[in-house]
Amino acid sequence: MAATLEFEKPIQELENKINELRSFSRDKGIDLSNEITTLEKRAMEVRESIYSNLNSWQHVLISRHPERPNTYDYINYIIKDFIELHGDRCFGDDPAVVGGIGRFNSRAVTVIGHLKGKNTKENLARNFGMAHPEGFRKGMRLMKQAEKFKRPVICFIDTPGANPGIGAEERGQFEAIARSILTMAALKTPIITVVIGEGASGGALAFGVGDRILMQEHTIYSVISPEGYASILWKDSSRAREAAEAIRITASDILDLGVADKIIPEPLGGAHRDPKAAADLLGEALADSLDELLELSLEDLMSCRYEKFRTIGNLK
Amino acid sequence: MVLEVFRKQKNVAAQAGSENRDIPEGIWSKCGRCGEILLNKDLIKNHKVCQKCGFHFRLTALERIKMTLDEGSFREMDADLLPVNPFNLSDYANKLIEARNKSGLNEAVVTGAGTINNIPLVIAVMDTNFMMASMGTVVGEKITRAIEAATAERKPLVIFAASGGARMQEGILSLMQLAKTVEALARLSEAGQLYITVMTDPTTGGVSASFAALGDIILAEPEAMIGFTGPRVIEQTIRQKLPEGFQRAEFFKQHGFIDQIIPRNQLKETLATLLEFHLQGVK
């Protein structure tokens, strides 16, 4: 049972009532199927109405839902025979970043993504999806490897940002992110980036320079977390809701701003309600984008990628 | 909404020649480190470095250009590009006006062409007086155009980096400037051309994590604050005080991320020598 978000309470109340009726009907042997059907219909309507009028902050909450499918889940659903590859060959292996080779619709691909955990224990092990320099350097290594063997690259973005800490700075967090952006800018193979949760700051962009940028319906992408924005600009992190509206971070905002290319629909109530269905929808969108990119010559691929980022903001 | 107060400004190249713009208000300045009271006239003669303790004052873009390029050689590019406020935030509109009044600039970076010891180059200089030289759409655009000009004209590129990071008020569009500038650098590099970064105080956030980190040669000024995450955020996260000297230029040189720390009075000469080394090459 997925944890209920605050704005989902009206749905939850209806569902509780339905369950009560069901057990009452079973215990007492009374047929309440008409009442139950009516309530189920009502619950569906309420859910649809809530989910078609989400504000930015509600998108933030869904994008961070603890049970939301993570990079491993999508790999399990849509990548066959995945073999994980570890380490940056310089310092260590960052558990906040997952990478490897697998088969997507019968084609070998390289997959790289941030990895969040689903509970406190997992999150401590994965550092809440906040990468250290060695995580970005592992990603770069696998991208170069993909280029060498002419494999497309699929990146999953799901991070509150790069890790803030002493070790990360000592090992050159700034250089690792910059170098990863450069590696992607020059990589001679198709790259598809999918935001599957929250994407914030340079830690997200380090895997974000794709030929296609796809975002799932309830994800966010931002220069900084709403909390960070509120805390730095207004000295008040409790105004995060306001910040989320002000700087336009939802998938439809990012599409309107010309940064995202496509929004991938999610099952009603968010990807965590039906991870398998969410993965199928994601797989379809990936397949479409990959087909488009594989039609391009290398020269066209590279010039389209340049133009894509060159014209964001429309000043050129 | 373009800010009405941002009328086309006098080209800074014209201003760079006039003496009075470079003298700060008042006659005296206090050293930010040792507290010594310094006569402005002497301070400027000493490249705005404290005569007593060697503290490097932050420079305006104009001061830097004047100190670095051959006299009269600077030709500014894109001076008339005005800031944008994509989400029409009123706080931001006000900040932009303040920044313009404080810095005398239209945006946080000045770009153009000039010469050092008669060697032509393209230069970009960030100015912390304009919203801590944060990078939004227009800063990213000016830097990208400078990189593209260097590539097209086959000139070396020197960027004096300084920044608090990506400009938050332009949201995702600011983050995308990291990608835009770096893509242009990838082409410059592929064309086999020289790019030198000089990290000055402070070079942090999205600027450190994009073009500033990618010079063929990376120089820094003494004690410049450098890093991805600012020290205040790190301290709040790890709940302990950071050691003395953490994230200074010397720290990053020790950790292998900077080629040399060059005191300001040797900077022009060092750049000239490096540029000369790259004039010849195997054809």
Name which of B106, B183, B214, B238 to mutate to probe chain A: the one with the most chain A Cβ atoms within 10 A of its Cβ: B183
Tell me the nearest-neighbour CA distance from A203 into chain B, angstroms. Answer: 10
- Report which of B167, B210, B69, B117 is spatially closest to residue A175, judged by C-alpha positions: B210
B206 and B138 in one domain? Answer: yes
Q: Is residue B1 part of a domain?
A: no
B233 and B141 in one domain? Answer: yes
A203 and A85 in one domain? Answer: yes
A203 and A64 in one domain? Answer: yes
**Closest-CA residue of chain B to A314:** B137
Which is it for strands A153-159 and A191-200: parallel, antiparallel or unpaired? parallel
A166 and A37 in one domain? Answer: no
pLDDT at B18 over 90: no
Q: Is residue B40 part of a domain?
A: yes
Nearest neighbour of A257 by CB, restricted to B173, B234, B257: B173
For residue range A213-250, list pLDDT tens digits in order.
999 999 999 999 999 999 999 999 899 999 999 999 99
Mean pLDDT in residue range B241-257: 96
Mean pLDDT in residue range B206-210: 98
For residue range B176-196, list pLDDT tens digits in order.
999 999 999 999 999 999 999
- Inter-chain residue contact A179 with B213, CB threshold 8 Å: yes
Q: Is B38 on the interface with A (CB under 8 A)?
A: no
Mark which of B57, B78, B100 sits at the end of a domain.
Answer: B57
Structure tokens at B1: 């909404």
B171 and B211 in one domain? Answer: yes
The model's confidence at residue A290, banded by pLDDT at 50, 70 and 90, is very high
A146 and A101 in one domain? Answer: yes
Distances (CA, A) of A190 to A146, A210, A302, A304: 10, 8, 9, 11
Mark which of B36, B57, B78 sits at the end of a domain.
Answer: B57
Residues of B in contact with A223 (CB under 8 A): 166, 168, 170-172, 174-175, 206
Q: Name the pTM for this structure.
A: 0.94
Integer Cα distance of B203 and B126 in angstroms: 10
B265 and B244 in one domain? Answer: yes
Nearest neighbour of B178 by CB, restricted to A181, A229, A310: A181
SS3 A286: helix
Q: Is B113 on the interface with A (CB under 8 A)?
A: no
Mean pLDDT in residue range A266-274: 96
Give the CATH number for residue A157: 3.90.226.10
Q: What residues contact residue A21 under an 8 Å CB cut-off, 6+ apart? A: A32, A35, A36, A39
Nearest neighbour of B176 by CB, restricted to A166, A186, A309: A309
Q: What is the pLDDT of residue A12?
A: 93
Residues of B in contact with A171 (CB under 8 A): 255
Q: What is the pLDDT of residue B22?
A: 47
Q: Give me the DSSP letters along B206-260.
A: HHHTTGGGG-SEEEE-TT-BEESS-HHHHHHHHTSPPPTTTTBHHHHHHTTS-SE
Structure tokens at B87: 């989400």
pLDDT at B10 over 80: no
Mean pLDDT in residue range A196-200: 97
Nearest neighbour of A222 by CB, restricted to B171, B205, B242: B171
Q: Is residue A316 part of a domain?
A: no
Mean pLDDT in residue range B15-42: 74
Residues of B in contact with A177 (CB under 8 A): 209-210, 213, 228
B131 and B252 in one domain? Answer: yes
Q: Is residue B133 part of a domain?
A: yes
B258 and B223 in one domain? Answer: yes
A192 and A141 in one domain? Answer: yes
A27 and A101 in one domain? Answer: no
Residues of B in contact with A259 (CB under 8 A): 172-173, 176
B63 and B52 in one domain? Answer: no
pLDDT at A120 over 50: yes
A113 and A25 in one domain? Answer: no
B221 and B231 in one domain? Answer: yes
Mean pLDDT in residue range B144-171: 98
Q: Is residue A290 part of a domain?
A: yes
Phi-psi domain of B19 (left: phi exceeds 0; alpha: psi -120 through 50; beta: other): alpha
B73 and B48 in one domain? Answer: no
Q: What is the pLDDT of residue A2?
A: 66
A73 and A42 in one domain? Answer: no
Give the DSSP H or E segment for B232. helix B231-238
**Closest-CA residue of chain A to B183:** A185
Q: Are the CB atoms for B137 and B101 separated by under 8 Å?
A: no
Tell me the nearest-neighbour CA distance from A24 into chain B, angstroms. Answer: 51
Domain that holds residue B70: 59-282
A288 and A199 in one domain? Answer: yes
Nearest neighbour of B210 by CB, restricted to A178, A204, A306: A178
B220 and B102 in one domain? Answer: yes
Integer Cα distance of B186 and A15 in angstroms: 55
Q: Is residue B7 part of a domain?
A: no
A209 and A155 in one domain? Answer: yes
- Inter-chain residue contact A202 with B180, CB threshold 8 Å: no
pLDDT at A165 over 60: yes
Hunting for tokens 């994230």 — which residue is that? Answer: B247
B158 and B79 in one domain? Answer: yes
pLDDT at B12 over 70: no
The model's confidence at residue B21, banded by pLDDT at 50, 70 and 90, is very low
Question: What single-letter DSSP state applies at residue B204?
Answer: E
Tell me the nearest-neighbour CA distance from A174 into chain B, angstroms. Answer: 4
Integer Cα distance of B106 and B268 in angstroms: 26
For residue range A76-90, list pLDDT tens digits in order.
999 999 999 999 999
Tell me the nearest-neighbour CA distance from B12 into chain A, angstroms. Answer: 22
Q: Is B233 on the interface with A (CB under 8 A)?
A: yes
Tell me the nearest-neighbour CA distance from A9 into chain B, angstroms. Answer: 31
- What is the amino acid identity at position B201? D
Q: Is residue B184 part of a domain?
A: yes
The model's confidence at residue A3, banded by pLDDT at 50, 70 and 90, is confident
Q: Is residue B178 part of a domain?
A: yes
pLDDT at A314 over 90: no
- Report which of A195, A193, A248, A185 is spatially closest to residue A218, judged by C-alpha positions: A195
Structure tokens at A89: 């060959």
Give the CATH number for residue B208: 3.90.226.10
A159 and A30 in one domain? Answer: no
The model's confidence at residue B281, banded by pLDDT at 50, 70 and 90, is low
- What is the amino acid identity at position B175? L
A103 and A25 in one domain? Answer: no
B46 and B103 in one domain? Answer: no
Report the interhelical angle of B267-277 vs B61-68 (nearest 10°). 60
Percent of chain B with pLDDT over 90: 87
Domain count, chain A: 2
Q: Is residue A1 part of a domain?
A: no
Number of Cβ within a 10 Å radius of residue A265:
15
Q: What is the pLDDT of residue B147?
A: 98
Q: Is residue A69 part of a domain?
A: yes
Mark which of A34, A53, A72 sits at the end of a domain.
Answer: A53
Q: Is B211 on the interface with A (CB under 8 A)?
A: yes
Tell me the nearest-neighbour CA distance from A27 into chain B, angstroms. Answer: 53
Domain that holds residue A169: 60-311
Mean pLDDT in residue range B239-247: 93
- Inter-chain residue contact B179 with A222, CB threshold 8 Å: no
Which is it for strands B195-204 and B226-227: parallel, antiparallel or unpaired? parallel
Mean pLDDT in residue range A9-32: 93
Predicted-complex ipTM score: 0.96
Residues across chain A: 316
Name which of B91, B180, B247 to mutate to probe chain A: the one with the most chain A Cβ atoms within 10 A of its Cβ: B180
pLDDT at A270 over 60: yes
Mark which of B57, B78, B103 sits at the end of a domain.
Answer: B57
Percent of chain B with pLDDT over 70: 90
- What is the amino acid identity at position A285? A
Domain count, chain B: 2
Q: What is the pLDDT of residue A143?
A: 98
Q: What is the pLDDT of residue A84?
A: 98
**Closest-CA residue of chain B to A133:** B228
From the number of C-beta atoms within 10 Å of its C-beta (0-12, 13-18, 19+), residue B11 rates as: middle
Nearest neighbour of A222 by CB, restricted to B172, B206, B246: B172
Residues of B in contact with A247 (CB under 8 A): 87, 168-169, 171-172
